[in-house]
Structure 1
Amino acid sequence: MKKSILYFCILFFISLASTAQESQNTNETASSVYTEARYHYYLKTILLFNEYLDTDSGSFNTTQLRFLHPIANKAWNLRVDLPLISTNTSSINKTGIGDIGVGISYIPYLEHKNGGVAFRARVISNSAVDPALGSGKWVVAPAVFYGKYLVMNKLLWISSIENQSSFAGSDNRSDINTTSFENYFMYIFGKNWFAADAAFRYNNTNKGFPNNAFVEFGRKITANDMAYIHPSVGFGNHKSYNWGIEVGMLILF
Structure 2
Amino acid sequence: MLAFATSAVAQGSAELAKELANPVSSLISVPLQSNFDHDIGPLDQGRRYTLNIQPVIPVSLNEDWNLISRTIVPVINQEDVFPQAPEKTGLGDTTQSLFFSPAEPVNGITWGIGPAFLLPTATEPHLGTEQWGAGPTGVVLKQTGGWTIGGLVNHIWSFAGSDNRDDINSTFVQPFFAYTTPDAWTFTLQAESTYDWENEQWNAPVAFLVAKLFQVGQQTYQIQAGPRYYADSPDTGADNMGFRLNFILLFPAGD
> Structure 1's 50 and 16: CA in aligned 2 closer, same or farther, altered over 3 A?
closer
**Aligned partners of 2:184, 2:152: CA distance in 1, in Å?**
26
More strand by share: 2
Q: State the 1:110 CA deviation.
A: 3.9
What are structure 1's unaligned runs of at least 5 residues?
1-9, 18-39
**Aligned partners of 2:242, 2:53: CA distance in 1, in Å?**
18
Q: Does 1:224 align with 2:247?
A: no
2:94 aligns to what?
Answer: 100
Deviations 1:198-252 (A, max 9, x none): 2444321111222221110000012721110121122236363213211111112
Q: Does 1:76 align with 2:67?
A: yes
> Structure 1's 231 and 104: CA in aligned 2 closer, same or farther, altered over 3 A?
same
Amino acid at match of 1:202: Y
How many residues of Structure 1 are paired with residues of Structure 2 in the alignment?
220
Give RMSD over aligned pairs: 2.7
Q: Which residue among 130, 145, 167 is the counterpart of 1:175?
A: 167
What are structure 2's unaligned runs of at least 5 residues?
1-14
**Aligned partners of 2:179, 2:21: CA distance in 1, in Å?**
14
Q: Secondary structure at the match of 2:26?
A: coil
Verify the 8 A CA contact 1:109 1:118 in the aligned structure 2.
no
Verify the 8 A CA contact 1:64 1:82 in the aligned structure 2.
yes
> Structure 1's 15 and 125: CA in aligned 2 closer, same or farther, altered over 3 A?
closer
Deviations 1:66-88 (A, max 9, x none): 22322242711223333211110
> Structure 1's 16 and 86: CA in aligned 2 closer, same or farther, altered over 3 A?
closer
Percent identity of equivalent pairs: 20
> Structure 1's 238 and 159: CA in aligned 2 closer, same or farther, altered over 3 A?
same
Q: State the 1:141 CA deviation.
A: 4.2
My pick for the range that moved more, 86-95 or 111-120, is: 111-120
Q: Does 1:132 align with 2:126?
A: yes
1:145 aligns to what?
Answer: 139
Q: Secondary structure at the match of 2:123?
A: coil
TM-score between the two structures when normalised by the length of structure 1: 0.77
1:251 aligns to what?
Answer: 249
Compare relative contact order (CA 8 Å, sep 6+) and give the higher one, 1 or 2: 2
Q: Secondary structure at the match of 1:13?
A: helix
Q: Which residue among 230, 233, 245 is the counterpart of 1:234?
A: 230
Q: Secondary structure at the match of 2:202?
A: coil
Q: State the 1:103 CA deviation.
A: 2.6
Verify the 8 A CA contact 1:182 1:197 in the aligned structure 2.
yes
**Aligned partners of 1:233, 1:155: CA distance in 2, in Å?**
23
> Structure 1's 12 and 110: CA in aligned 2 closer, same or farther, altered over 3 A?
farther
